[in-house]
């Protein structure tokens, strides 16, 4: 009788990144356990379901890790309407810090071979004042509740793995876009799919981006590559864009004329300074760059260009 090989467990398997990763892993012949909160969560066909209920400090991960050899931890709290409040930090910590630490400790106890944490570039900050890219070895310096909870999660995973024999790798993506995208990118997508001019021409920022397929490719590499162990990687498409450039290329993918007009950037920056729509204003006008030379040194190359990634977003948007 053939012994079943250990599965790869994916938390948040029904999410934006999780579903795409599950499809990729199944296509290469892996057994995949999808760890989800809700029994009714839609999973990619072929994924073995494991329900753990609400994700937080009290989550019991034991059964979810039975028969598992590697873990990819994607489940996270990402957006709340009152970002920055003290209550928001504790809500982020419940899912992103405490639950992650508990999962990593249980994984180490059960002899999991490799643990991949999806963190964020925001664990390093919201952009360097001098406009230079963050590097893999920069110190943690988060500026908001989400980034802080993820920085603490990185520390919790490293502590859990220390001396256990469990190999760990972490990825810190910037803004991720792709089919089924949500949040701020969806706001921009909706604005781009109109005939109206967009007053973004005065913005002279630069931002690193990451297509969903490229992120999945990077996660898959970290699951297997021996030199990924113990490292934290920034990942990007390879081409940094300003907000007006992104909007123009997104409109091209949608089959619309660019129609990007000049407008003063001062009002947008003022909103960020006084705390009104701070997150969206920062993403529109601020710069946030990543140096991905670390993961590229392992031979990784993004499988899709920015324009190919945006074309996939446009195709999904048109056919949704």
The SS3 of residue 171 is: strand
134 is catalytic: no
Task: Look at the alpha carbons of 149, 154, 155, 161 in this order and tell me if their dihedral is positive or negative.
Answer: positive
Adjacent-strand bridge partners of 231? 169
Please give the backbone phi and psi of residue 293, each rounded to the nearest 5 degrees, phi first.
-65, -25
Distance CA 118, CA 169 (A): 9
The SS3 of residue 49 is: strand
Options 98, 134, 146, 177, the catalytic residue: 146
- The count of other CB atoms within 10 Å of the CB of residue 247 is 23
Pairing state between β 7-11 and 32-36:
parallel
Q: Could you tell me the two tokens for 248?
A: 């123009």
Distance CA 282, CA 276 (A): 10
Cα 302–Cα 307–Cα 313 angle in degrees, nearest 5: 95
Distance CA 141, CA 182 (A): 26
Ramachandran category for residue 149: left, alpha or beta (phi over 0 → left; psi -120 to 50 → alpha):
alpha
Distance CA 175, CA 183 (A): 10
Q: Which of the residues are catalytic?
A: 146
């Amino acid at each position: 009788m053939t012994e079943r090989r250990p599965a790869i467990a994916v938390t948040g398997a029904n999410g934006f990144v999780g579903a795409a990763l599950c499809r990729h892993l199944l296509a290469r012949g892996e057994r995949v356990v999808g760890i989800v909160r809700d029994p009714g969560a839609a999973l990619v066909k072929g994924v073995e379901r494991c329900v753990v209920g609400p994700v937080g400090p009290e989550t019991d991960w034991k059964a979810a890790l039975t028969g598992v050899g590697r873990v990819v931890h994607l489940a996270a709290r990402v957006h709340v309407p009152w970002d920055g409040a003290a209550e928001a930090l504790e809500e982020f910590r419940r899912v992103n810090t405490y639950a992650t630490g508990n999962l990593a400790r249980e994984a180490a106890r059960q002899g999991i071979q490799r643990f991949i944490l999806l963190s964020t570039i925001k664990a390093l900050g919201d952009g360097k004042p001098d406009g230079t890219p963050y590097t893999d070895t920069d110190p943690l310096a988060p500026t908001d509740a989400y980034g802080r909870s993820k920085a603490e999660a990185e520390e919790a995973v490293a502590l859990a793995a220390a001396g256990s024999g469990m190999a760990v790798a972490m990825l810190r993506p910037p803004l991720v876009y792709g089919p089924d995208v949500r949040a701020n990118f969806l706001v921009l997508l909706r604005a781009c799919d109109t005939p109206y001019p967009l007053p973004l021409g005065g913005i002279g920022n630069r931002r690193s981006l990451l297509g969903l397929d490229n992120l999945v490719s990077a996660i898959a590499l970290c699951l297997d590559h021996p030199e990924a162990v113990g490292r934290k990687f920034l990942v990007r498409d390879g081409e940094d864009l300003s907000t007006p450039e992104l909007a123009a290329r997104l409109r091209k993918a949608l089959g619309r004329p660019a129609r990007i007009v000049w407008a003063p950037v001062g009002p947008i920056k003022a909103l960020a300074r006084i705390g009104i729509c701070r997150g969206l204003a920062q993403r529109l006008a601020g710069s946030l760059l990543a140096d991905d030379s670390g993961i590229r040194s392992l031979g990784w190359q993004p499988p899709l260009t920015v324009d190919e990634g945006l074309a996939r977003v446009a195709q999904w948007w048109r056919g949704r």
